[in-house]
């Protein structure tokens, strides 16, 4: 899909919006070292729940994408597949108090806010993808990492490096003699 999909409240007053969008790699900004391994496909429906009152937009659907990064321990490239459903509710920005502190709960993670006349689908998709991405990517829970001295990947080979760290703050004590 070449053009950006915008979920417009005015259009939703007339009828729900069904979308099937494809985002090419690089179109959605991802955090450090993450990149799309292929097209991201987002399909679903947007509808206006309360046309006369609160004007809440409900967006539901699914997102499928393969993303890649490097393992935090061994630096090998890894790829993760995401194929998940989502359901979000967007309230008009003017419904929240500007100077009010409020504790949020788990159910509030599915609530967002929109300004003016709607929300861009690419923003909805990016937010969901950011929530799904792991904070630290590992090729496997049993990843052994790399040797800090020679750089050998301990998942593939052993190295004979002797790792001995000496804290220079204690060096004076090492040369002291405690014999009488």
108 lies in some domain = yes
Has residue 104 been placed in a domain? yes
Question: Is 34 among the domain residues?
Answer: yes
Domain presence at residue 177: no
For the range 94-101, what are the long-range contacts, defined as Cβ-Cβ under 8 Å and sequence gap of 24 or more? 95/54
Judging by DSSP bridges, how do beta strands 35-36 and 57-70 pair with one another?
Answer: antiparallel
pLDDT at 38 over 60: yes
- What pTM does this model have? 0.72
- pLDDT tens-digit readout, 110-149: 677 888 888 999 999 999 998 889 888 899 999 999 998 8
Q: Is residue 137 part of a domain?
A: no
- Please give the tally of structural domains in the chain: 1
> 134: Cβ–Cβ under 8 A, 6 or more apart, which residues?
80
**What are the tens digits of pLDDT across the range 51-79?**
666 788 999 999 999 999 999 999 999 99
User: 2 or 71: whose pLDDT is higher?
Assistant: 71
For residue 25, with 0-12 CB atoms within 10 Å meaning exposed, 13-18 middle and 19 or more buried, which class applies? middle
Residue 32: inside a domain, yes or no? yes
Kindly state whether residue 48 falls inside one of the protein's structural domains: yes
Q: Decide if 141 is inside a domain.
A: no
Q: Which range marks the domain in which residue 83 is found?
A: 6-132
Amino acid 67: pLDDT: 95
Q: Give the span between the Cα atoms of 32 and 72, in whole angstroms.
A: 12
């Amino acid at each position: 899909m070449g053009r950006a999909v915008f979920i417009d409240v005015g259009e939703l007053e007339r009828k729900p919006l069904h979308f099937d969008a494809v985002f090419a790699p690089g179109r959605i900004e991802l955090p450090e070292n993450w990149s799309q391994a292929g097209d991201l496909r987002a399909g679903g429906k947007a509808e206006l729940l309360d046309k006369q009152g609160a004007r809440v937009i409900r967006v539901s659907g699914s997102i499928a994408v393969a993303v890649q990064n490097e393992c935090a321990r061994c630096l090998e490239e890894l790829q993760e597949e995401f194929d998940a459903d989502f359901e979000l509710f967007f309230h008009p920005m003017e419904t929240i108090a500007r100077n009010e502190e409020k504790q949020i709960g788990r159910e509030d993670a599915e609530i967002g806010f929109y300004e003016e006349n709607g929300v861009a689908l690419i923003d909805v998709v990016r937010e969901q993808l950011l929530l799904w991405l792991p904070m630290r990517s590992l090729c496997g829970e049993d990843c052994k990492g790399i040797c800090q001295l020679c750089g050998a990947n301990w998942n593939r080979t052993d190295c004979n490096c002797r790792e001995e760290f000496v804290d220079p703050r204690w060096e004076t004590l090492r040369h002291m003699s405690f014999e009488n």
